[in-house]
Each structure stands twice: as C-alpha cells, then as structure tokens.
C-alpha cells in the first residue's frame, strides 16, 4: 500500500517536472526577437515535412471515414424515413468530432513520432550540443519552426479531412444509396452553423495541434540519448498524445456542446 | 586563456570533480588525460557553459563562464569551439553547408565570400574535394576532419577537442595529430585536447594534466611527466593493467566465491 502510494507520488512529481521542462522548452523556443529572413527557409521546410507529407494519410482516411459514416448513418436513418438528414449527420459528426480528433490521432502517429525520433537522434548524435557550442540556440533553430509548423498545419489538415469526408459521404449516400443530392447539400446548409460547428471544430483542432506538437517536441528533446531511449520516447509520444487528445476532446466537447 | 579554480561538480550524489584547479595558456596545446569514465568530456562541457559547476570559477578570456547570463554565454561561445567525439555533423546538410553553417549564422557575409572561407577551411583539412558529399558518405576519419573544418570556420580563440583520436586508423590519427598542431600554430589558437591516447598526446601537447580520482594527479610538460614520481601517473602513462588503479572491479574474494559455488 505504502509502496503504491510512493509510486503514485513519484509518477505525479515526474509528470509535473515533465510539464515544467516542456514549458521551459517552449518558452525558450518562442521568446525573443524573430528573425524572419534567416528563419524563412527553415519554416518552409518544416511546413512541407509536417504538413504536406501528412496530406496523403489525411485524404485517404477522411474519404473512408466519410464513406463509412454515410453507410452506417443511412441504415439507421432509413428506419425512420429520415434519409434526407444524411448530409447533416455526416457533416456534423465530422466537423464537431471526428475531423479534429482523427486528424490529431493520425498526426500524432505520422508527424509526431517523426518529430520525436528526429530530435532524439539529433540529441544522441550530439548535433544539438554542437549547435549550442556554435552559439546557435537549438530551441530557436530546431524547436520553434517545428512547433509553428505543427500548430498551423494540423487545423488545416483537419479542415481538409472534413471536406474530403463530406465528399466521401456524398459518394456513398447520394451516388450509391440513392439519397437525393440536392437534399444532401441543402439539409447540411440548413443544419450546420458556422460558429457553433465549424469554428468550434477549428478551435478544438488548434488545441489538439498544440498538445500533440508540444508532446512530440518535448519527448524528443528530453529523450535519453540511446537507441532504446529514442524508441521509448517515440512510443510515449504516440501514446501520451493520443490519450491527451481524447481527454481534452471530452472536456472541450462538454464546454462547447454540453450545455 | 582559461583559468579553472576550485571546481567542484557533482552528478546527483556522485562527485565528479573535487576542488580542482587548472590553467590553459594562450596559444598552447594543453592536454587532459585520464582513465575512461572520469568525466573528461564533462570538463569540456563545463568550460563551454553547457553544465553548471557546484562551486568554483571557470574564467575564459576574462569572463567567469558559470556566472554569465544566457546571451552573454552565447557571445562567449562565439569565441570558442568544440570538436565532438562523433564529429556531430548535421546529417541533413552537405559537408560544404556544415562548414558554412556557423559563418551563415553569425555573419552577414555575401555568399561568394562564405564560399571562399569554406573552401579555405576544407583545404586546410584536405577535404576540398569532398565538399558536396553528405556526412553519411564520409569515413569516420573524414567526418572528424570535416567537423574540424566547421569548428575552425570562424577562427575561434579556443578550440576543445573531445577524444580526437578515438577509433581512428593510424593514418587518420597521424593526420589529425598533424592538423591539431599545425592549426594551433597557424591560427594562434589555444587548444585543449581531451584524450587517453598517451603517445599521440605526448607528441603534440605543450602541457599535460592527468586527471583521476576526482582531481589532478599530475601535471607538467610531457618530459616532466615521464619523470613523475606518482605510481598512478606512471601506471597510466605506461599502460600497465594493474597498479594503483586495480585491474579487477571490486568483488568478493575469488577463492571464497568459487568454494561457495561448489558447496
């Protein structure tokens, strides 16, 4: 019993220390005078690596999730003769919930793990140390561009996911199952609210982007510089980021749509 | 150039250095030798301000490194340089871009001048022809020479070599020994070489510190050290397996342990 309590205490202290170190890392990366001219190529590269290279998985997943939603939704709605509500069902599920959450989970697996492994390896091969000794701050040169790339790209990816998902829903609902095409779009237009649904979805997605990116960067920066340490850090990034996204999703949903 | 006074450094409970003092003179090659695992690299990191000592001062070019503020430390680091054991080249850049990295970061020189400077540095280490290769295409010796070219890119006043000879074949070892000596002479730099390769170090160092058991156990010119009376120093310099530093890791009595296994 006492042992368990001790373990719980040490785990809590560990978590709080981790949060502290992550905050310090972020502060060090973002504080100070920006140097747009010198940093521009670094940012462009990270936007490409983090954002553009994640597009394929987002497009394919979005399409399939939209198609499955339409298929599942149709069978239930048809029982009540409410097939014309298929459009709002697909759109609201995606915009409010599945778009931000699934994008965040995919992003954690695709880009988050890559960020952790890359930074962990840079640490293990002393590249970060040597940068520091050359009077170049690795926080500003390595962490900052990756942070902004993650924070900006993920909400954009979520929007693309939603759009492709809605098209996937159309493909199955209208083209295959025979729901009226005009009804699909007009019911969607009537039931989806710009602020309540779209903006709230973007807010969710931005929060998830912050969580996933900071966890990925921190785990890499804090990794034990051995092969085992990096493999652990990469796994932890995916597990911690996914759980954090699901946890925050519940809280945000309760705040946004709960009352 | 660098003056370390009463340095104490602990890692957790473990004392790495206990009240140690050292001086590194300007324009000289000073070597720090000692058995593995006594924290020689740690000393270089302390001088570079990457670690904070518990007590003591580390004065570099008139400034006490541990007391500097972050931006002052970064200013001081522009005057020093370090060659890491692994080379630590940036893997996503070519050799040319690696050497150009510190110049591009800290100066606003036009690209033609940067190109000229980089080629001069690469010529000095004999790798002008390898400028377009990626670090993964270099041999261990070449990678270290490329890293050396990067380390001298901005003509630092102080350069610290972390185990520059470790894992090198005799030819590249000879090349690096010659480079350290000639760069020190040609550029007027102060060099600190951390190593346990006795012959190589003794051939290039002007002054040698031998560190063991958390402190300096002997120092002097290579000739003075060879005459040193300490048995520990002699054991280290002559590479004897047993002596004041025991061959065996601490263990229970051998005969007794064998008897217990039998019983």
Chain A residues closer than 8 Å to B88 by CB = 125-127, 129-130
Q: What is the pLDDT of residues A134-178, one digit of tens each?
A: 888 888 889 999 999 999 999 999 999 999 999 999 999 999 998
Residue A39 contacts B where some CB pair is shorter than 8 Å: no
pLDDT of residue A215: 95
Across the interface, do B84 and A137 touch by the CB < 8 Å criterion? Answer: no
In this predicted complex, what is the ipTM?
Answer: 0.81
Q: Is the pLDDT of residue A230 over 90?
A: yes
Nearest CA in chain B to A127: B88
Across the interface, do A136 and B102 touch by the CB < 8 Å criterion? Answer: yes
Q: What is the pLDDT of residues B225-243, one digit of tens each?
A: 888 878 777 887 777 777 7
Across residues B125-147, what is the average pLDDT? Answer: 89
B192 contact partners, CB below 8 Å, separation of at least 6: B2, B24, B30, B31, B32, B44, B47, B158, B159, B160, B161
Contacts 24+ apart (CB under 8 A), A226-231: A226/A124, A227/A124, A229/A120, A229/A124, A230/A116, A230/A117, A230/A120, A230/A121, A230/A124
Q: How many angstroms separate the CA of residue B88 from the nearest CA in chain A?
A: 5
Nearest CA in chain B to A45: B92
Across residues B172-181, what is the average pLDDT? Answer: 84
Which DSSP helix (H) or strand (E) runs through B247? none
pLDDT of residue A207: 96
Q: Per-residue confidence at B210, pLDDT binned at 50, 70, 90?
A: confident
Residue A129, both tokens:
């140390």
A127 contact partners, CB below 8 Å, separation of at least 6: B88, B89, B90, B91
Q: Per-residue confidence at B203, pLDDT binned at 50, 70, 90?
A: confident
**Beta strand pairing call for B2-11 and B55-60:** antiparallel
% of chain A surpassing 70 pLDDT = 100
- For A259, other C-beta atoms within 10 Å of its C-beta total 5
The contact set of B with A (CB < 8 A) is 45, 48, 50, 74-75, 77-78, 80-82, 84-86, 88-91, 101-102, 105-106, 147, 150
Q: Is the pLDDT of residue B263 over 70?
A: no
Q: Is the pLDDT of residue A229 over 90?
A: yes
The residue among B12 and A48 whose pLDDT is bigger is A48
Nearest CA in chain A to B102: A134
Q: What is the pLDDT of residues A44-65, one digit of tens each?
A: 999 999 999 999 999 999 999 9
> What's the pTM value of the predicted model, to 2 decimals?
0.86
The CB-side HSE value for A47 (13 A sphere, CA atoms) comes to 11
Across residues B188-210, what is the average pLDDT? Answer: 87
Both ends of chain A: CA-CA distance in Å? 40
pLDDT of residue A259: 64
Q: How many angstroms separate the CA of residue A116 from the nearest CA in chain B?
A: 16
Q: Is the pLDDT of residue A1 over 90?
A: no
- For A195, other C-beta atoms within 10 Å of its C-beta total 7
Q: Per-residue confidence at A95, pLDDT binned at 50, 70, 90?
A: very high
Across residues A72-87, what is the average pLDDT? Answer: 90
The closest CB to that of B77, out of A125, A127, A133, belongs to A133
pLDDT of residue A178: 87
Q: What is the pLDDT of residues A231-243, one digit of tens each?
A: 999 999 999 999 9
Across the interface, do A135 and B82 touch by the CB < 8 Å criterion? Answer: no
The closest CB to that of B77, out of A38, A125, A135, belongs to A135
Q: What is the pLDDT of residues B97-119, one digit of tens each?
A: 999 999 998 888 999 999 999 99
Interface of A with B in 110-129 (CB under 8 A): 125-127, 129
The residue among A101 and B92 whose pLDDT is bigger is A101
């Amino acid at each position: 019993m006492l042992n368990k309590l001790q373990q719980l205490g040490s785990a809590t202290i560990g978590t709080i220390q981790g949060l502290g170190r992550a905050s310090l890392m972020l502060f060090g990366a973002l504080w100070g005078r920006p140097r747009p001219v010198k940093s521009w190529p670094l940012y462009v590269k990270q936007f490409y690596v983090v954002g553009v290279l994640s597009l394929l998985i987002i497009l394919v997943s979005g399409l399939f999730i939209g198609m499955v939603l339409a298929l599942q939704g149709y069978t239930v709605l048809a029982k009540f003769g409410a097939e014309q509500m298929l459009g709002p069902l697909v759109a609201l599920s995606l915009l409010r919930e599945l778009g931000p959450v699934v994008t965040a989970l995919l992003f954690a697996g695709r880009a988050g793990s890559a960020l952790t492994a890359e930074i962990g390896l840079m640490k293990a091969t002393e590249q970060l140390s040597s940068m520091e000794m050359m009077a170049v701050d690795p926080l500003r040169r390595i962490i900052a561009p990756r942070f902004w790339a993650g924070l900006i790209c993920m909400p954009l990816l979520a929007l693309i996911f939603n759009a492709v998902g809605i098209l996937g829903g159309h493909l199955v609902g209208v083209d295959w199952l025979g729901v009226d095409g005009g009804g699909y779009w007009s019911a969607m237009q009537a039931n989806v609210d710009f602020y309540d649904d779209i903006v709230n979805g973007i807010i969710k997605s931005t929060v998830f982007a912050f969580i996933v990116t900071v966890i990925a960067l921190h785990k890499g920066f804090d990794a034990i510089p051995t092969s085992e340490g990096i493999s652990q850090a990469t796994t932890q990034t995916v597990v911690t980021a996914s759980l954090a996204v699901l946890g925050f999703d519940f809280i945000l949903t309760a705040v946004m749509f709960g009352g | 150039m660098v003056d370390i006074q009463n340095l104490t450094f602990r890692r957790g409970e473990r004392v790495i250095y206990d009240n140690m003092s050292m001086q590194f003179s300007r324009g000289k090659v000073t070597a720090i030798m000692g058995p593995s695992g006594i924290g020689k690299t740690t000393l270089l990191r302390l001088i570079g301000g990457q670690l904070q000592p518990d007590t003591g001062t580390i004065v570099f070019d008139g400034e006490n490194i541990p007391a500097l503020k972050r931006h002052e430390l970064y200013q001081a680091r522009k005057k020093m340089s370090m060659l890491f054991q692994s080379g630590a080249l940036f893997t996503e850049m070519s050799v040319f871009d690696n050497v150009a990295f510190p110049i591009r970061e800290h100066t606003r020189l036009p690209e033609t001048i940067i190109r000229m400077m980089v080629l001069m540095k690469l010529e000095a280490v004999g790798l002008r022809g390898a400028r377009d290769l990626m670090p993964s295409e270099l041999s261990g010796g070449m990678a270290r020479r490329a890293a050396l070219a990067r380390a001298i890119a901005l003509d630092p006043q102080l350069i610290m070599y972390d185990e520059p000879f470790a894992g090198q074949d005799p030819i590249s070892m000879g090349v690096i020994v010659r480079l350290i000596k000639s760069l020190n002479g040609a550029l007027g730099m102060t060099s600190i070489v951390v190593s346990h390769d006795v012959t190589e170090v003794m051939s290039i160092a002007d002054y040698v510190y031998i560190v063991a058991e958390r402190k300096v156990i002997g120092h002097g010119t290579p000739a003075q050290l060879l005459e040193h009376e300490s048995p520990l120093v002699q054991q280290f310099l002559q590479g004897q397996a047993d002596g004041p530093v025991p061959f065996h890791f601490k263990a229970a009595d051998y005969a007794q342990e064998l008897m217990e296994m039998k019983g």
